[in-house]
């Protein structure tokens, strides 16, 4: 980077995504930064690396968690849904309230760990209606919106696109594209999911292509932001690549690394 003129303050932000219950490291993620950016997935339903962690094994046990992970990894999604439905049938009509209670417990811990200021958007496993209830004065929640940080304009688009996994905050391609359009031209485009580029959406451990956004890719090519930042794919084939003038960066699986990605200008 070019030297900073005398007296001019450099801005540093730390960026995290896919926190999935890692409140301990989240509490330190903003250390040394002017702001923290969170790209979603605070909730931990099921840890694919440790099947004993998350809402699912808490309710149904580790053996059932092993089984559903095996089915999903084998892309046997219909069988996974049927197996899960059988387990949830035992919970009865209280399913929604049971899930919300567990998510609320995690959100209370996650949002309490956010430093001030934090700018955050939703991931595909999040429950947006609950966020504003838990976000304190130092946390700004954005979705299809912009904010200025250190003289740069940051745009935020949350959520994921519809998949056989049927996670809580999956939306239509049209709704997602409308949010991308609402953000417009920005210096940094912050999303939970990556642009639809094979190298960026392929998970090398799950051995499958996750869903990326064609609308996001088109916006990157059209508006040429300095950076496109995202998460969602935990073990991507490629973590960083250029699309035209834009540096595209998967900021990492924070639940596993505990380390934020840093941007300074």
What is the full DSSP assignment across 142-210?
-SSEEEEETTEEEEEE--EE--TT--TTEE-HHHHHHHHHHH-S-SEEEESSPBS-HHHHEETTTTEEP
Q: Is 65 part of any domain?
A: no
In a domain, 61, yes or no: no
Count the domains in the chain: 1
* Domain of residue 245, CATH code: 3.60.21.10
User: Residue range 198-210: average pLDDT?
Assistant: 92
DSSP structural state of residue 94: G
In a domain, 232, yes or no: yes
What distance in Å separates the CA atoms of residue 177 and residue 173, rounded to the nearest whole number?
6
Could you give the C-alpha distances from 94 to 40, 91, 99, 104, 106, in angstroms and in order?
26, 6, 9, 15, 19
pLDDT tens digits along 40-53: 999 998 888 889 98
Residue 7: pLDDT band with limits 50, 70, 90: low
Token digits of residue 84:
């899960």
Name the band, by pLDDT with cuts 50, 70 and 90, for residue 2: very low
Q: Structural domain of residue 38, as residue ranges?
A: 12-42+114-259
Tell whether 195 is covered by a domain: yes
The pTM of the full predicted model, rounded to 2 decimals, is 0.91
Q: Is the pLDDT of residue 114 over 80?
A: yes
Q: Are 43 and 20 in contact (CB under 8 A)?
A: yes
């Amino acid at each position: 980077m070019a030297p900073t003129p005398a007296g001019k303050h450099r801005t540093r932000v730390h960026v995290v995504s896919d926190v999935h219950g890692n409140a301990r490291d989240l509490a330190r993620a903003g250390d040394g930064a002017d702001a923290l950016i969170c790209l979603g997935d605070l909730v931990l339903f099921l840890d694919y690396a440790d099947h004993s962690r998350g809402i699912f094994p808490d309710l149904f046990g580790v053996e059932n968690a092993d089984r559903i992970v095996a089915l999903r990894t084998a892309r046997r999604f219909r069988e996974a849904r049927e197996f899960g439905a059988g387990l949830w049938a035992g919970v009865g009509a209280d399913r929604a309230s049971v899930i919300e209670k567990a998510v609320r417990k995690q959100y209370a811990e996650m949002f309490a760990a956010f430093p001030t200021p934090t700018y955050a958007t939703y991931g595909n496993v999040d429950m947006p209606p609950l966020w504003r209830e838990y976000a304190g004065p130092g946390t700004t929640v954005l979705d299809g919106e912009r904010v200025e940080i250190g003289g740069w304009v940051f745009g935020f688009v949350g959520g994921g696109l519809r998949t056989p996994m049927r996670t809580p905050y999956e939306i239509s391609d049209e709704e997602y594209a409308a949010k991308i359009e609402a953000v417009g031209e920005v210096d940094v485009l912050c999303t939970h999911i990556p642009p639809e580029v094979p190298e960026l959406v392929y998970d090398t451990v799950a051995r499958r292509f996750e869903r990326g956004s064609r609308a996001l890719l088109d916006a990157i090519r059209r508006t040429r932001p300095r950076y496109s930042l995202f998460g969602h794919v935990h073990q991507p084939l490629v973590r960083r690549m250029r699309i035209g003038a834009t540096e595209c960066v998967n900021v990492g699986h924070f639940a596993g690394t505990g380390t934020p990605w840093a941007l300074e200008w």
